[in-house]
Structure 1
Amino acid sequence: MLATDAVPAEMEELDPDQRTALDALVIAAIAWCSPEGQARARARLLMECHGRFERACGASGKGASFPDFLDRLAKAPVGELLPGPTSRSKLWNARLLEDDGSAAPILTRLAMEASEQDQQVPGTGADLRHLHSVLRALGKLPSGTRLSRITAEAVQHAVFRALQQAGFTAYTEGRHALITQPVLARRALARHTQLVDLGVYTAISPMRQFAGWWAPCPFCRWTMRAVPRGRHAADLSCEDIRHTERGARFRMALQEGQWRLTPAGGEIREAPQLRPVEGQVALSYGLWQWIVLPGLLEVELKHRAEKAGAHVHLWPYGDSYDLHITKNGVTWRVDVKTWADPQGIAERMREDPEGCAGLIVVIPEHLGGYVGVLARVLGPHGARVLTDVSLIAEVSTA
């Protein structure tokens, strides 16, 4: 049996960290051997993949510096790269790249599993293809752009610029609706004309429903992934690991002839209500990841700053920055960054160094270890870097 034949079954055996690391390796390998795109854009994507790979490896000892990451990507078999226990499988012994830097057969198969194969079994790949079509319709992506080229900046820029065409009020309302209502009834969606025109909502993925039902994550309200456990039960959990760790994981089973959810651990004591799939539409995975998740922190910071006595405007001047906070003559111009990629954040903001002056770059408290790195890069351009906790502490004491 060839390594390519073993891919589907062996993918099922990977733990979450291994799957995340492998996803980063696959996208990095595609970027490495692909001639498309400018060298700078390819380097940016490789650095993003390195950041994701490092987070997945954690304390396993499989992490590497960026040069070592590229060297091992080109030479090492998959088993020497992934965190966690090793395996004797064909996949573990395969390399992603050939000696000449071209794609190995296993890389092609893994890429198919991530996109083309999901046309028969819709899932994350189907979500990303939907997002691809949305961005194409908005004029952001040229024909033929690979799924792996879609970045957070491209998504946010395209969607927000399209919303701005309807005017500031419609832009603010539309952006707020995307963040706080990632799943809508079709009738409710019809009331948001600007969102209907964008075409960003689609049918709920089969991977996020079971027996005709779905359930919202208690924290982000998006569809939780459903993993069947036989014909009469399923495990539901949020795609965001932080939400899962806090308790956004449940068991769905038949009880007295009705489907019910029960909590599976964490701080959640009451399960969300199951909802019928029929008549519901949801944002794609990419829009949830790149608009809903960062937007949740933006909206939360607004409420926390107002509670501390400040006056707050969300997304002032279009998409210039995220929050304009004032209190007792003090002003904070805040740009929120939630993605754990300090190189990417720095690179993005250095593209417009004048835009950094006077900004406060806020990252979540759990990414506080990046404050020093970002401050060294962005400080000379006039930006400060704080965690969300530090920002609210400043506002509270002003």
Structure 2
Amino acid sequence: MTEWLVGARDASAERAHRVVAAALRAAYAWTVRRQRRDAMREVARMTGVVMEAHGPGSGPTTPHDLVACLRQPLGLLPVLAGGSDDDIARLVLLDGDDRLTPDAYDLACEYALPVGGAPDSTQWMPTWTRMRAEQIRSDTFVALVEVNGQRGYVSSRQFLIEHPAGSHAELSERISETGVRPPRRGYTEIPADHLYHASDGQRWWWPCAVCRWPMAVTRTTVRCRYRPHAAVYQVPRGRSAGSRPTVKRIDEGRPRLATPVARPADGCLCVEFGIWRFLVVPGASELRVKRSLEALGAAVELWPERDSYDLRVLAGGTEFRVDLKEYRSVHRLIADLRAKPPSVRILLPKTHEHQRGTLEAALPALRVTTETKFCTEVRRALKAA
């Protein structure tokens, strides 16, 4: 009877995917239940999806049962127990204060997909909780190409990556100078949980040193929502009223990064979360790789042939074509590559080079390289030329 919600029954991996996607939507809806009168209806709908995936007599059977599961590792759910994705098994979506955990933003969003038909919640639920990453990228591509064409698409997409946040005046001035045409409603207000509220009532935000999007603020802890961007900062006590707040890095990780400077929040905007997570985050790596290859002497073209792949590299008389893939979950990456086999080599950025062995073991026919190896390959081609 519930097949209309999710389509025909399928493999266990797809049932697990639906459960993670439904759990993410239910978790988000639970966090806004006091602001959205229909939020509990969404939790109930997602409970139905989870029940269908488990089958009779297994898994949570009421919305409150499901919410209780969201406060525990998802691997305790029968349909996810014993799976090969340890990161998902350890994933907890709601913290002790019933807020979304960092892993919900960082990892679970890669499992988002449309489940449960087309309810009214699509009007208020963020795209990253209900849409596949590929769909968000595709919609942005269509929006940019329609008004810009291929050449304008490249410059407009690069603009979004390089300027994912800023003051309205600053963004307007740069758009006017460059002639780019971002998608309509491409920028929105900075989310409330990415703002620091000072004791004197002023609001501030800090751009991530890697992707430049506003970092999340939890009390006095500041960090990018995307874990591979690493740095964690603390706001020291004792700031004098009216002064600009500062942050001090408290993790021991690498690489060394410039300390971000606080910016006043009034009049500032940022791209919405879905565009940031699935265009800006990998785009920051794509532009970094492009700059590295150009520094070696190669010519690099971004997103050629209507974004069929990411980088065309000319090194002497040799041409390379690669598609950069930056997934937190290697299991989601494997599933997506199986569903849509690539026509060019897969390039893993430095932060994800450890995924190469798993990828090659799961997809032996896949052509995979890493940023480190690819730069060496290009360097040799240039030297040979």
Contact 2:298/2:314, CA 8 A, preserved across alignment: yes
Tell me what 2:296 maps to: 308
- Matched residue of 2:305: which SS? coil
Range that drifts further, 289-298 or 339-348: 339-348
Matched, 1:46 2:16: yes
Tell me what 1:198 maps to: 184
The 3 A distance-change label for structure 1 pair 365 and 219 is closer
- Matched residue of 1:167: which SS? helix
Query: CA–CA distance in 2 between the matches of 1:157 and 1:291?
Result: 10
CA displacement 1:83-142 (0-9 Å, x = unmatched): xxxxxxxxxxxxx99825564333554699999xxxxx9999xx9xxx9xxx99xxxx95
The 3 A distance-change label for structure 1 pair 50 and 105 is closer
CA displacement 1:28-74 (0-9 Å, x = unmatched): xxxx99933555699447359889x9xxxxxxxxxxxxxxxxxxxx9
Which of 236, 245, 248 lines up with 1:263 in the alignment? 248
Which of 228, 237, 240 lines up with 2:223 in the alignment? 237
Q: How does 1:1-398 map to 2 (within 5 A)?
A: 35-37=5-7, 39=9, 43-44=13-14, 46-47=16-17, 99-101=57-59, 103-109=61-67, 144=120, 148-165=129-146, 166-190=148-172, 191=175, 197-211=183-197, 212-228=203-219, 234-244=220-230, 247-257=231-241, 258-265=243-250, 266=252, 268=256, 271-353=259-341, 356-357=342-343, 359-376=344-361, 378=363, 380=365, 383-398=366-381
Tell me the matched-pair count. 298
Tell me what 1:83 maps to: none
| Aligned-pair identity (%) | 25
The 3 A distance-change label for structure 1 pair 304 and 275 is same
The 3 A distance-change label for structure 1 pair 109 and 209 is same
Query: CA–CA distance in 2 between the matches of 1:167 and 1:202?
Result: 24
- Matched residue of 2:320: which SS? strand
RMSD of aligned alpha carbons? 4.2
Range that drifts further, 337-346 or 201-210: 337-346
Contact 1:213/1:275, CA 8 A, preserved across alignment: yes
Query: CA–CA distance in 1 between the matches of 2:292 and 2:364?
Result: 26
Deviation at 1:294, TM superposition (A): 0.7
Query: CA–CA distance in 1 between the matches of 2:55 and 2:193?
Result: 31
The 3 A distance-change label for structure 1 pair 209 and 37 is farther
Please, which runs of 5 or more residues in structure 1 have no aligned partner? 1-31, 54-73, 76-95, 116-120, 229-233
Contact 1:209/1:225, CA 8 A, preserved across alignment: yes
Deviation at 1:221, TM superposition (A): 0.9
Please, which runs of 5 or more residues in structure 2 have no aligned partner? 24-49, 72-91, 94-98, 198-202
Contact 1:310/1:326, CA 8 A, preserved across alignment: yes
Query: CA–CA distance in 2 between the matches of 1:200 and 1:37?
Result: 32
Contact 1:253/1:261, CA 8 A, preserved across alignment: no
Contact 1:260/1:274, CA 8 A, preserved across alignment: yes
Query: CA–CA distance in 2 between the matches of 1:394 and 1:45?
Result: 41
TM-score (norm 2): 0.65
Query: CA–CA distance in 1 between the matches of 2:274 and 2:68?
Result: 19
- Matched residue of 1:157: which SS? helix
Query: CA–CA distance in 2 between the matches of 1:242 and 1:109?
Result: 28
Which amino acid in structure 1 is aligned with residue 318 of structure 2? V
Deviation at 1:270, TM superposition (A): 5.2
The 3 A distance-change label for structure 1 pair 320 and 143 is farther
Query: CA–CA distance in 2 between the matches of 1:174 and 1:189?
Result: 13
Tell me what 1:16 maps to: none
